[in-house]
Amino acid sequence: MNEIFDPLNLLLLGLAVFILFRLRSVLGKRTGNERPPFDPYSKPEQPNEQTNGQDNVIPLPNQTDQPAEMSQESAQGGDVVIDKVAPEGSALNSALKQILSVDRSFEPQEFLQGARAAYEMIVMAFADGDKKALKNLLSSDVYEGFVGAIEDREKRGETIESTFVGIDKAEIVEAALKNSTAQVTVKIHSQLISATRDKEGEVVDGDPAKVTEVVDIWTFARDTMSRDPNWKLVATESAE
């Protein structure tokens, strides 16, 4: 019985109590509010993250969150901007104002900036055979046409070497509001270096050392009743 009170046992017991106290002070105790363990493979949370995978689209600024008292002023400002893009009283002016009447976020100059960016992305994606990039930029009908051309090219063993030099001019030439769908047609003057090579590497079309002037007429569309602010290419034609 006296062995329990042996000085050595008492010393060890005191040391154990001391170590337990130190661990408690360093590690703390669970309260139920601790953060979950960090998972290095999980995706970081991002506020208001959009996961529609449509980063390469033509965004149309959404102004639905603006105060109601701003709407009249915004409308008047939009009319003035449209008058600068298309002559007042013209069919184009009237059509653009119709689009503005159902979508106060529509702004011709911002739309043209987006159309220019989309044009370059589409031209380069087609040259590279990037179907995934094209899918988010084209309507289903146009997408099928582009994919068909890419697959025909691949079957022949051909490849396209393309360098986008730039856009000289982009202008809105036509617009329409069909039910709730807005359509805007843009005439684009661009410069490209493009050459198509066969499976042996021989040039069968174009010139890899020549800058070519290209004029395209592309039509973009968007459902103004949709919450999706993105425009898609719905028709193409060459002006040459």
Per residue in 85-124, pLDDT tens?
899 999 999 999 999 999 988 999 999 999 999 999 999 9
Domains of the chain: 68-238 (3.10.450.240)
Mean pLDDT within 210-238: 94
The per-residue pLDDT for 65 is: 42
**Whole-number Å distance between alpha carbons of 157 and 201:** 10
Query: What percent of the chain has a predicted confidence (pLDDT) above 90?
Result: 62
Longest Cα separation, the chain:
112
